[in-house]
Amino acid sequence: VLGLAVTACGNDSAADRSSTGPNVVVTTNILGDIVRQVVGDQASVQVLMPLGADPHDFALSAKQADAMAKADLVVTNGAGIEEKMQSVIDRVAGDGVPVFTFADHVTMRGEDPHIWTDPLTLEPAVRAFGERAATLAGVDAAKIATQTATYAASLKQLDQSVRGTLAAIPADRRVLVTNHEVFGYFAARYDLRVLGAVIPSLTTDAQASAKDLEALAATIRDQHVAAIFAETTKPTKLAEALAKEVGSSVQVVELYTESLGKPGSSAATYVGMVQANADLIAGALGA
Ligand SMILES: [Zn+2]
């Protein structure tokens, strides 16, 4: 994991040096892809979280904190997901570095920070980011406006595609059991029911109790749930333990929850990632 992280950071730095324009620093790699699609060649984009990073527990290096302090614009998810970097974000914002927070531009579900799991929830924030990026010094605002419109349209297409993919799941099987409570927005949009989570919390920085797992296993058995959805950013051992506790043929399927997939994989972009998750969910829950 460390090797991958170092490689990913190295690649980002190399790409940054060859780019021009204002310097945009983005926290999560999911938002990093979105920001790159919107700004195109009009800004240099540095993404702080490498592939596989869990945004709840990722902490900045001193060098990354310095990059944030020198940015022309810092882009965050917000709503508390950047738990271990929030103090640095607050400090650079206090020092006058502009910060654009995606969560400030969406309709929130309570305090759930996982806004990217539903492309339509995210779409207004993408448009707001495009408007903000177009005001950066030295950019071609018209070009960014065009790129923003194109990308926002691709999110609407993604929604239609996901809807079509998930239509294959019968009503009585539209149930999600996940590793932590990450798919609230996705479930609400696509008519799925979140039955429970191995870690019954909106953060991965919480504990699963043996008693809770036993109760969840019983519910999974009673309702003949076909799959437990683990996540690529966390070990699958808790989900495997739950599957063992269920004791039937329940599958453990890893989804791309809080990080993009590797370059060249179907989940290497945000749009690809959401579709890949829909394909995996339909594959696991479909009749
Ligand atoms: Zn989370």
Query: Per-residue pLDDT tens for 142-177?
Result: 999 999 999 999 999 999 999 999 999 999 999 999
Distance 110 CA to ligand 1 centre (A): 14
Determine the distance separating the centroid of ligand 1 and the alpha carbon of 202, expressed in angstroms: 6
CA–centroid distance, 93 to ligand 1, in Å, is: 24
Q: How remote is the CA of residue 184 from the centroid of ligand 1, in Å?
A: 10
Name 212's Cβ contacts closer than 8 Å, sequence gap at least 6: 200
CA–centroid distance, 142 to ligand 1, in Å, is 35
Q: What is the helix (H) or strand (E) element at residue 176, kind and residue range?
A: strand 175-180
- Residue 71 Cα to ligand 1 midpoint, Å, equals 26
User: Residue 20: its pLDDT value, please?
Assistant: 79
The torsion of the CA quartet 261, 75, 206, 245, rounded to 10 degrees, works out to -20
Q: How far is the CA of 15 from the centre of ligand 1 (A)?
A: 28
What are the residues facing 176 on neighbouring strands? 194
Ligand 1 centre to CA of 180 (Å) is 7
> What gap in Å lies between CA 175 and CA 227, rounded to an integer?
9
Check: CB of residue 62 under 8 Å from CB of residue 86: no
Q: How far apart, in whole angstroms, are the C-alpha atoms of residue 120 and residue 156? A: 7
Distance in Å, CA 17 to ligand 1 centroid: 32
Ligand 1 mean position, distance from CA 197 (Å): 11
Nearest to 239 by CA among 143, 248, 193, 250: 250
What confidence score (pLDDT) does residue 5 get? 41
User: Separation of 179 CA from ligand 1 center, angstroms?
Assistant: 9
If you measure from the C-alpha of residue 139 to the centroid of ligand 1, how many angstroms do you get, rounded to a whole number?
A: 34
Give the type of residue at 145. A
CA angle 214, 220, 223 (to 5 degrees): 140
Find the 262 Cα to ligand 1 centroid distance in Å: 19
């983005």: which residue's tokens?
26
Three-state DSSP class for residue 197: strand
Distance of CA 158 from the midpoint of ligand 1 (Å): 22
Q: How far is the CA of 266 from the centre of ligand 1 (A)?
A: 21
- To the question of pTM greater than 0.85 for the whole model, the response is yes
| pLDDT at residue 12, as a whole number | 46
CA-angle at 81, arms to 156 and 135, nearest 5°? 60
Edge-first strand order for the sheet with 99-101 is 44-47, 23-26, 73-76, 99-101
Distances (CA, A) of 141 to 62, 99, 123, 124, 133: 33, 19, 19, 18, 8
Longest Cα pair distance anywhere in the chain, in angstroms? 60
Chain center to CA of 151 = 17
How confident is the prediction along the chain (287 residues), in pLDDT tens digits per residue?
Answer: 344 444 444 444 444 444 679 999 999 999 999 999 999 999 999 999 999 999 999 999 999 999 999 999 999 999 999 999 999 999 999 999 999 999 999 999 999 999 999 999 999 999 999 999 999 999 999 999 999 999 999 999 999 999 999 999 999 999 999 999 999 999 999 999 999 999 999 999 998 888 999 999 999 999 999 999 999 999 899 999 999 999 878 999 999 999 999 999 999 999 999 999 999 999 999 96
The residues facing 25 across adjacent strands are 46, 74
Six token digits for residue 125: 């924030």
- Give me ligand 1 centre to Cα 18, in Å: 33
Q: Cα–Cα distance between 114 and 15 in angstroms, integer? A: 28
Let me know if 6 is exposed, middle or buried by CB neighbors in 10 A (0-12, 13-18, 19+): exposed
